[in-house]
């Protein structure tokens, strides 16, 4: 236990990632803003749902912060002062709350706004930090207030106060999205489900397990067109290529999967191979820990 009561444990990080790769670190399970502030007194990293992340086999030397307890819960009660007939502004949703469970709850309530993010396995905080989404919608479509914690203190901002775009916000890496208030439109459970089905259909044929998700952002060609990185990797003939126990998915070129027992080194070797063989500069979508590993 830390001074403020945070649970602190040394553990392999692999189990907290969807890829299932990564060595050990000291994990701080923080449940309050006070515990979060204490965790931030020494060098730290913030772990979300671990779904867009490749952690080195040696782990990381910094503290790893994981939002837990109340900071992983959601209060979807509409705020009577902020909500109108046309717009629902919810109570606070913790940055550690899993996105899939949140979307199920919104579907049952028939509230529309975030259904384009269906199928993303991450947590709310990390998903906001990188504006996770699909071509059907993204996190910033449904945000009213974002609470951000830094070593200097806590601030609450509106999405308009930030610069954000395709899979990106300008929230710095070591700032924590502790909670958000959502901004949604009243609809019906059936209509929200239908929109979720549409977005889900586009994911058919993508691997869902033992992968961090898409490896590279879709690049914009010199003529201004955005192309699918997966398609480029496919056209380079790389689907099914294997290094150690990591493989470029046979189903979709932009996914690397862990066949069981893969290492971060295997994954980095595949990323390097893709960059070498695809003739277009590719920007990584994954977050790498530590960044010095970047290929």
Catalytic residues: 167
C-alpha closest to that of 242 among 206, 214, 267, 276? 267
Q: How far apart are CA 289 and CA 295, in angstroms?
A: 12
- Give the whole-angstrom CA distance, residue 29 versus residue 36: 9
Give residues with Cβ within 8 angstroms of 73, minimum separation 6: 94, 97
Which member of 63, 66, 183, 252 binds ligand EPU (CB under 6 A)? 252
Q: Figure out which of the listed residues 148, 285, 288, 289 binds ligand EPU, where binding follows CB under 6 A.
A: 285
Strand boundaries in 173-290, DSSP class E: 176-186, 242-243, 246-248, 256-258, 287-289
* Min dist. Cβ of residue 272 to ligand EPU (A): 19
Q: Which is nearer to ligand EPU, 178 or 254 (CB)?
A: 254
The strand pairing partners of 9, in sequence order, are 27
> Is 33 near ligand EPU (CB under 6 A)?
no
Identified binder of ligand EPU from the candidate list 117, 254, 258, 263, rule CB under 6 A: 254
Q: Of 266, 263, 227, 261, whose CA–CA distance to 248 is shortest?
A: 266
CA–CA separation, 26 and 268 (whole Å): 24
Q: What's the CA angle centered on 8, arms 7 and 12, to 5 degrees?
A: 125
Q: Looking only at residues 203 through 232 of this chain, which bind ligand EPU when binding is defined by CB under 6 A? A: 203, 206, 213-214, 217-218, 228-231
- Shortest distance in whole angstroms from residue 251 CB to ligand EPU: 7
Q: Choose, by CB under 6 A, the member of 24, 62, 87, 234 that binds ligand EPU.
A: 234
Residue 277 as a binder of ligand EPU (CB under 6 A): the answer is: no
Interaction between residue 200 and ligand EPU (CB under 6 A): no
Shortest Å distance, C-beta 232 to ligand EPU: 8
Please state, in angstroms and rounded to a whole number, the distance separating the CA atoms of residues 157 and 59.
33
State the number of binding residues for ligand EPU (CB under 6 A): 19
Pick out residues in 133-152 that bind ligand EPU (CB under 6 A).
134-135
Would you give the end-to-end CA distance of the chain in angstroms? 37
- For the segment 39-78, give every residue that binds ligand EPU (CB under 6 A): none
C-beta closer to ligand EPU: residue 76 or 202: 202
- 122 part of the interface to ligand EPU, by CB under 6 A: no
- Residues lying near ligand EPU in the complex (CB under 6 A) are found at 134-135, 202-203, 206, 213-214, 217-218, 228-231, 234, 239, 252-254, 285
């Amino acid at each position: 236990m830390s001074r403020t009561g945070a649970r602190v444990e040394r553990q392999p990080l692999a189990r907290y990632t969807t890829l299932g790769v990564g060595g050990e670190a000291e994990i701080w399970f923080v449940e309050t803003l006070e515990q979060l502030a204490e965790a931030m007194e020494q060098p730290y990293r913030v772990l979300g749902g671990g779904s867009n992340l490749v952690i080195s086999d040696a782990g990381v030397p910094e503290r790893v912060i994981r939002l837990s307890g109340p900071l992983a819960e959601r209060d979807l009660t509409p705020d009577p002062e902020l909500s109108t007939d046309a717009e629902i502004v919810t109570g606070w949703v913790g940055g550690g709350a899993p996105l899939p469970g949140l979307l199920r709850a919104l579907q049952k309530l028939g509230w529309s706004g975030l259904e384009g993010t269906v199928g993303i396995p991450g947590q709310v905080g990390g998903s906001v930090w990188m504006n996770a989404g699909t071509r059907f919608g993204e996190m910033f479509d449904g945000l009213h207030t974002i609470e951000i914690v830094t070593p200097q203190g806590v601030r609450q901002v509106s999405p308009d106060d930030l610069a954000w775009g395709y899979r990106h916000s300008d929230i710095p890496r070591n700032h924590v999205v502790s909670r958000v208030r959502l901004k949604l439109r009243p609809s019906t459970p059936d209509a929200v489900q239908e929109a979720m089905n549409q977005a889900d259909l586009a994911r058919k044929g993508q691997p869902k397990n033992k992968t961090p998700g898409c490896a590279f952002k879709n690049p914009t060609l010199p003529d201004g067109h955005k192309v699918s990185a997966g398609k480029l990797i496919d056209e380079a003939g790389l689907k099914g290529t294997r290094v150690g126990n990591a493989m470029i998915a046979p189903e979709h070129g932009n996914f690397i999967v862990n066949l069981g027992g893969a290492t971060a080194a295997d994954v980095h070797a595949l990323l390097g191979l893709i960059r070498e063989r695809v003739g277009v500069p590719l920007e990584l979508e994954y977050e790498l820990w530590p960044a010095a590993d970047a290929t």
